[in-house]
Every structure is written in structure tokens, then in C-alpha cells.
Amino acid sequence: MSQNAPDPGARALDRSDVRLRHDEGLGGAIRAFLDRIRSGDLGMLPVAVGLVIISLVFSALNPVFLAPNNLVNLLFDCATVGVISLGIVCVLMVGEIDLSVGSMSGFASAMVGMLWVNNGWPVAVAILAALAVGALVGTLYAFLFNRLGMPSFVATLAGLLAILGLQLYILGTSGSINLPYQSPLVKFGQVLLMPAWLSHALALLPGIVLVVIGLGNMNRRRAANLSPGSMGGLIVRAVVLTLALEAVVYYLNLGRGVPWMFGLFVALVLVMNYAFTRTKWGRSMIAVGGNREAARRAGINVRFIYTSAFVLCSMFAALGGILSAARLASASQQAGTGDVNLNAIAAAVIGGTSLFGGRGSAYSALLGIIVIQAIASGLTLLNLSSSLRYMITGGVLAIAVIVDSLARRSRVSHGRA
């Protein structure tokens, strides 16, 4: 018993309504989880189920699929499009879309190639320049949207073509620029791996942070006479998370190990998750996506929120383009074309970010891109032609959107829209 609790007999502030079923302890946590799923608040469930099915099917068809080194390669690939997808989460959160992220990523890789390799700029400056151009493009979209009332999908569709044109223009007749293999950037994109001890240590961190923050919260809530929540649930979550992460890291270390590039991607996801859930800015993003006029009347600067979403999206797209240039050791006319756009958007939606705005999470980019790249990798191992790969990926995206729409309908009918 905490000595702060004013009166052990008194009910906690948030437990005074008699109609409320009090889900205490571990059983309560599980029951609350099932209730949420039933009312259409699916969260990460479709992804988890999807990943299990994908692994079972592809490893049955080709055992190489689950080989440690194939998974390591998968993580390298995830990082590039995953970063782009993180930007897509930002625009989807406010209920808008950016269809030009593929072109933006291709243009950024071309810029780095031109400035760094052809013009001899320091690589860091070339990268910063590409990111700055990304910010500029995002600002332009925000201007078209905020001031001229242009729907974002039209503005960014125009941007898709215009930026692709720019990419082809600066690549000129040669069509592609090779990046030097010995440069740190290309090494980062192809071979840099964490030492095993470090990856194991990092895998411990989330569980520790979860417990420390969780216990702190419980104490503060108890002191404030709010129900503290279940200690058992917290411990179980932390233990399961830590065991899962350690198992994954152990398995990856049987192969080459955990790529630093994937580490960067995860770090960005964690930063964005903090921003979405724990800052005023993130709260405002969700509010604008849910009810723009209500957000405006609450005194939120709605235009600034849209601008920040578009700018972040284009900057993440540029960064993703730079990472994929590093991965391929080249900046070519093909960079950012084809299925990059679609994969980035599909990853966010598959991961559980709603196309309808106001609902989503940074983790959806991480989980969604793992699903997408797992399918891509599995299909490549089966030696399927790209025509079939496109059709299958398209089908998966359609399923993800259907799940999103159905879940939304269920939320509306359960009053949780």
C-alpha cells in the first residue's frame, strides 16, 4: 500500500462510476485487449497475423527465406523504404497524402550523386542539401494546400511528374552515377553491422525503459489518486518484449548481424513515436486529422500542422532516397520509380495507419515495411517475374485497405471512430 493514498477505502478518481467494469490485473488486461479488437480497434494485430502467415508460406516454399542472412538483407531493404513510409505516416495522420515520395527519394539520390561524386562536395553537405530541397518541396505542397486549397493528392501527383523530370534532368545523358564503394555512405548502406554485444544490449533497452517509465507512471497515478493499472501486465509485456527482441537479435547474429542502417530507421521510428504520442505537436496532428474545424477552434494553428506534416514527409522521402542510393551504390534514373511510392504508402496502411486521418502510429511504418519487404523477398526467392510480384503486392495493399475500411466501420458502429 502506498502511503500517499489518501484513504484506502476511497475509490480512485477514475474508478467512481459504478457502470465501469474494472479490469484489474493480468486477466483484466487481456479482456480489455479482446474488447478493443472486437470493436474494430485492431492496432498491430493484422500485421502480426500477416507476418506469421507470410513466414509459414514462404519458408515452406523455400527454406532460404528464413535463413539468418536473408533476414539481414531484408532489414537492409526495410530501412530505405521504411524511412519513406515514416513520412507517409505523418501526412496520413492529418488525413492527407503525398504521392510524390518515390520521385522525391529518386531526386534526392540523384542530387547526392551529382553534388558529391560529380561536383566534389563533401558528402555531408550534399546530404544536407538534398534534405533541404525535400523541406522546400514539402513547403511548396503545404502552400498549395493551405493557401490555394489544392487537394494534396492532385498537388503531389503534379509533383510526382515534375520531380521525376528534375531527377532525369540532373542525371543527364549518362543516366546513372556510381557511388564509390569504399565511401562511408555506401558502407553504411551495404555492410556496416552492429557488434553482437551491442545489438544484444540495445535489445534489452526497450524492456527496461518500459518498466522504468511504467513504474514511475504507476507511482505518480497512485499519488494522484488515480487507478495505477496492473503491475503484472506491465512486467509480462516487458518480459515478452525483451525475450522476443533478444531472440530476433540472436538469430540475426547467427548471420551477419543487425545492420546499422536498420538501427537508424528504428531510432527514427522511436523519435517519431515519442513526437506523436507525448508532445503537443503530435496531439495536434491527431486532432487535425480527426476534426480539422474542432482543432482550429481549440486555437491550434492548423496551417502550421499541415505544413509540418508535408515538410516532414518530403524530408523523410529524401532521406529514404539517400539511404537507397547508399544501398545500391548508385543514383540512377530508376531510383524511386516503380513500386517505391506504392510500397511506402502500403506499408503505413498495412501497419495500421488509417487512410482517413486521425489514427495511426510510427510503428506502423516499421511493421508494415517488414511485411511488404518479406513478401517482396519471398517472391524474389521463388523467382517470380516482376509482373506477378506487382500483382501480388497490389492484392496485399487492397486487403490492407479493406481491413482498414472494415475496422473503421466497426469502430463507428461501436462508437469509437
Q: How many residues bind other proteins (CB under 8 A)?
A: 39
Q: Which of 155, 286, 313, 366 binds other proteins (CB under 8 A)?
A: 286
* Choices 196-204, 258-266, 295-303, 311-319 (CB under 8 A): range interacting with other proteins: 295-303
Minimum Å gap between C-beta 224 and other proteins is 5
**Residues 7 to 26 in contact with other proteins, rule: CB under 8 A:** 13-14, 17, 19-20
Taking CB under 8 A as the criterion, the residue among 54, 359, 366, 375 binding other proteins is 359
Q: Shortest approach of other proteins to residue 414 CB, angstroms?
A: 8
Residue 2: CB minimum distance to other proteins, A: 14
Closer Cβ to other proteins, 259 or 360, answer by number: 360
Closest distance to other proteins from the beta carbon of 220 (Å): 5
Q: Considering only 142-150, 202-210, 213-221, 307-315, which stretch makes contact with other proteins by CB under 8 A? A: 213-221
**Three-state secondary structure string covering 119-150:** CCCCHHHHHHHHHHHHHHHHHHHHHHHHCCCC
CB of residue 19 to other proteins, shortest distance in Å = 5
Does residue 327 bind other proteins (CB under 8 A)?
Answer: no
Q: Which is nearer to other proteins, 39 or 333 (CB)?
A: 39
User: What mask, x for binding other proteins by CB under 8 A, covers residues 237 to 276?
Assistant: ----------------------------------------
Binding piece for other proteins, criterion CB under 8 A, among 170-178, 203-211, 369-377, 406-414: 406-414
CA distance 80 to 261: 8
Nearer to other proteins, 296 or 389 (CB): 296
Binding-site member from 212, 220, 338, 382 for other proteins (CB under 8 A)? 220
Which residues sit at the interface with other proteins, rule CB under 8 A?
13-14, 17, 19-20, 217, 220-221, 224-226, 278-281, 283-284, 286-287, 289-291, 293-301, 358-359, 411-412, 414-417
